[in-house]
Amino acid sequence: MTTTRPVPGEAVALEIPAVPLTIEGYSALHQMLRVRWTAWRGLQEADRREIVSEALPVLTRMEQNSQGQSAFYSLIGHKGDLMLVHFRESFDDLNRAELQLAQLRLSEYWEPTTSYLSVIELGLYDSTTKVYKSLIERGIEPHTDEWKREIQQTLDRQKEAMRPRLFPAIPPNRYACFYPMDRKRGEDKNWYTLPIEERARQMNEHGLVGRRYAGEVKQIITGSIGFDDWEWGVDLFADDPLVFKKLIYEMRFDHVSAVYALFGQFFVGLRCPAEKLGTLLEGELPPAK
């Protein structure tokens, strides 16, 4: 009886793990708040000034923090009045930021509408398939100690090379758009059952659309599997909000979005420097720089 040997490339494809490698940077928290306008307007003007004066040093330090910034936005629409975006080095630091804000008298005049917890993430689809195949061809079995050491070395190199993208300053653009999203896991279409090479191909095609908008919009992707109700968060920053519409609409036509993407609520706001928060609370939008 003769035995047909598998083609080497096919054997590797069957053996490589399904999970792509990722590298992580800043922890991220988005807080959406509603201002209790009636209570705020009911205060004497001197009391409002005093409350804002107490808050400004704290908010300014957060905004200028070199180990992860905060940024403040005036939300448009009914989903809230303020969006606070915090980047920090750890979840502990995010919680400290929350507690700092809760100690301010100003916090008595806002209430949360929602929040989102995640961590800045870069997916390494292309590197993943190359590294997995290389290790298997060298006879290193997946998930062994030697495999884990090799993978960690790869991640360490990638993290150092990608440090500016993993630990960015919050872009200073006038407008921000945040939304969460998932990949479908339904009975008919399930992203997680596709071969890793096919997922890599589709994600590369998806990324080509975003790169066409380089210079017009800054995008920061955060991972939230195990942290919040969706799988990823997306932050877009631009000086012209129409770019958000054009970019997201165009992306809907690529295969990975058309077939596998699910989207949560969208939040769009205008940047408000910490020093201008008092102006905003008096009903006047700070001018664009």
Q: How far is CA 132 from CA 15, 80, 159, 204, in A?
A: 9, 45, 18, 18
Q: How far apart are CA 61 and CA 57, in angstroms?
A: 6
Angle, helices 242-251 vs 196-211, to 10°: value is 150
What SS3 state is found at 116?
strand
Q: Kindly give, in sequence order, each residue whose CB lies less than 8 Å from that of residue 226, ignoring residues fewer than 6 positions away.
A: none
Residue 125 a catalytic site member: no
251 backbone φψ class: left, alpha, beta (φ>0; ψ -120 to 50): alpha
Environment class of 214 (CB within 10 Å of its CB; exposed 0-12, middle 13-18, buried 19+): exposed
Q: Which residues of 18-39 are buried (b: 16+ CB within 10 A; e: fewer)?
A: eebbbbebbbbbbbbbebeeee
Q: Which of 66, 281, 271, 40 is nearest to 174 (CA)?
A: 271
Other CB atoms within a 10 A radius of the CB of residue 74 amount to 18
DSSP state letters, 229-275: SSSEEEEEEESSTHHHHHHHHHHTTSHHHHHHEEE---EEEEE--GG
* Residue 128 CB contacts under 8 Å (≥ 6 apart), including other chains: 20, 21, 196, 200
CA distance 200 to 123: 10
Catalytic residue among 116, 132, 175, 179: 179
How far the first Cα of the chain sits from its last, in Å, is: 79
**Active site residue ranges:** 179
